[in-house]
Amino acid sequence: MDWHARFLDRKSEEVFFVPLGGSGEIGMNLNLYGHRGSWLMVDCGVTFGGETQSGAEVIAPDTAFIEQHRDRLAGLVLTHAHEDHLGAVQYLWRRLRCPVWATPFASSVLRRKLSESEFREDIGLTVVPLDARFRVGAFDVEMVHLTHSIPEPMALAIRTAAGTLLHTGDWKIDPDPLVGGGMETGRLAALGAEGVVALVGDSTNAMREGEAGSEADVRRALGALFARQGGRIAVACFASNIARLETIALAARAVGRDVALVGRSLWCMHESARENGYIDASINFLREDEAGYVPADRLVLVCTGSQGEPRAALSRIASDEHPHVVLERGDTCVFSSRTIPGNERPVLRLKNQLAALGVAIVDDENAPADIGGPIHVSGHPCRGELARMYQLVRPRAAIPVHGEAQHMQAHASLARDCQVQHALVPSNGDVIRIPRDGVPEKVGEVQSGRLAVEGDRLVPMDGDVIRARGRMLWNGAVMATVVVDRKGRSVGEPRLSAPGLAEEDEEALDDLRDAAADAVRKAGRGADDAALEEAVRRAIRRRARDALGKRPEVRVHLVRT
């Protein structure tokens, strides 16, 4: 019996786990749990394109597999409000058309994202309390509050006939999270006592020893740092870290400074936090158009763009393209953030742009040692915290997710060291069978991949559109118009343009025109349009390769008179 037939078995005592995003990468989390003919989706996130992504700024997971079985998709449960966990809902929900469950803060964030969508009234969003327990198809789902770098991070205890699974989402152990509640260690221990078949968990910091640290440590450090700075202070941080926003505001107030939020996503998160009571009512933020009226030594700017994103506020400020905000010599930019793997080059470029303006850079590497703490702490568990989770939950199996391959392998190794009997590292698209005895095994594969968000459409990252864009990026493009008579003879010279290749090199363009004209002559009379176009395309590519060392994307427009 194949795995899909067993999935449909109404008496089955096994669960199937299928990651479609977030396994083997950081970001774009989307996971499926299948049991007794019903699918549960956990999270639906995006990732962001880097310099090698051919212009794709936002990337979503390929959901073709679950779209084919949409009638069995019971619902989507969101663990928290980070972009890599809920950011794809606005792009993918029309394909999924399933109910959605989320806590109040995550619901607020999602509603703002959907405010301009055509399906905002149709989505069927159920707001659940932080201690919720509810039914989704064949699954009994219980929310368990953890701590992270955003309010309301939830683990999911997923009860099935095969036993209980714990999906951790993103988390860390923060003894003083400042915003929101603490980690429910007692509840986790109780689940461990009941018996957990498998823990599916965060691997981001599985290669780091110790613990991630507390937001309270950052509050002390930023307060001390602000007290010794002159000029403007810009702080680059993740917009979703509400505790960090409050910390920056309180540290600024202590030294007599006003705070402005610069970047749309900061305001969206701020409004959601206000709505749910997660920001001190006495704190007020200025808008970016008000910041220019505040003296430099009385101003703190909180900016989006800590990862070097080209359209984010800090990149625009560094390029002197922001309409309201400037940074100049004597100012300081504090990177209260971690560079996400893959973003090293754009972050370095951003820092160099700021340095060229005379702006002092403070980050994890050069922060003063005497400010009493770090200027940033991660929201993900290091090895000490992972070990503590395994001591509490005592699962029979571990399935690492949310990390690149080396992070997941390190997580699996640590789980074995913590006396977990079985550990299996999945890849996106793997079908993992989890039986009651907790011995997971790979039993199949389904389609997985990446979709580039292109306006109102989703384009496969490995499809013709993105491949052609990549070729044009590195090799340029040639557009040729060739006019022939009914017998296939040239009428006038071919017309060519070669953007990104030879648009200002007349000699090179003439050479390419000659190649196109020669191809028409050699094709001879009677050649059909398709044959003529292909002959011209091949001739231009061959001449460009020989003369320019490039293999451009060539488009031929044939006109018969």
How far is residue 484's CA from residue 519's CA, in Å, rounded to a whole number? 12
pLDDT, tens digit (0-9, with 9 covering 90-100), for 453-493: 877 788 887 766 777 777 777 778 889 998 888 877 888 88
- Please tell me the pTM assigned to this model: 0.87
Which residue, 87, 84, 88, is CA-closest to 22?
84
What H or E segment, with its residue span, contains residue 135?
strand 133-136
Q: Are 461 and 450 in contact (CB under 8 A)?
A: yes
Residue 275, classed as helix, strand or coil, is: helix
pLDDT at 435: 94
CATH architecture of the domain with range 17-210+379-460? 4-Layer Sandwich (3.60)
Q: What angle do CA 522, 527, 529 make, to 5 degrees?
A: 115
Name residues of the chain where pLDDT drops below 50: none
CATH architecture of the domain with range 215-362? 3-Layer(aba) Sandwich (3.40)
pLDDT at 507: 83
pLDDT at 342: 78
Which residue, 67, 117, 114, 122, is CA-closest to 95?
67
pLDDT at 50: 62
What H or E segment, with its residue span, contains residue 91?
helix 89-96
How far is residue 230's CA from residue 175's CA, in Å, rounded to a whole number? 33
Residue 74, classed as helix, strand or coil, is: strand
pLDDT at 313: 95
Please state at what angle helix 405-417 crosses helix 383-393, rounded to 10 degrees.
50
Which segments of 476-559 does DSSP mark as H helices, in order? Answer: 506-523, 529-548
Domain boundaries, the chain: 17-210+379-460, 215-362, 476-560
Q: What is the DSSP letter of 494?
A: P
Tracing tokens 């389609």 back to the chain, one arrives at 447
pLDDT at 298: 97
Our measurement of the distance from residue 104's CA atom to the centroid of its chain's CA atoms, rounded to an integer in Å, reads 22
Report the 3 state secondary structure along 225-274: HHCCCCCCEEEECCCCCHHHHHHHHHHHHHCCCEEEEECHHHHHHHHHHH
pLDDT at 116: 76
The dihedral region occupied by 404, where left means phi > 0, alpha psi between -120 and 50, and beta the remainder, is beta
CATH of 476-560, one of 3.30.1330.30, 3.40.50.2300, 3.40.50.300, 3.10.20.580: 3.10.20.580
Output the CA–CA distances (angstroms, integers) from residue 176 to 78, 181, 218, 221, 273, in the order listed. Answer: 24, 9, 11, 15, 18
Phi, psi of 228 (to 5 degrees): -110, 10
pLDDT at 504: 67
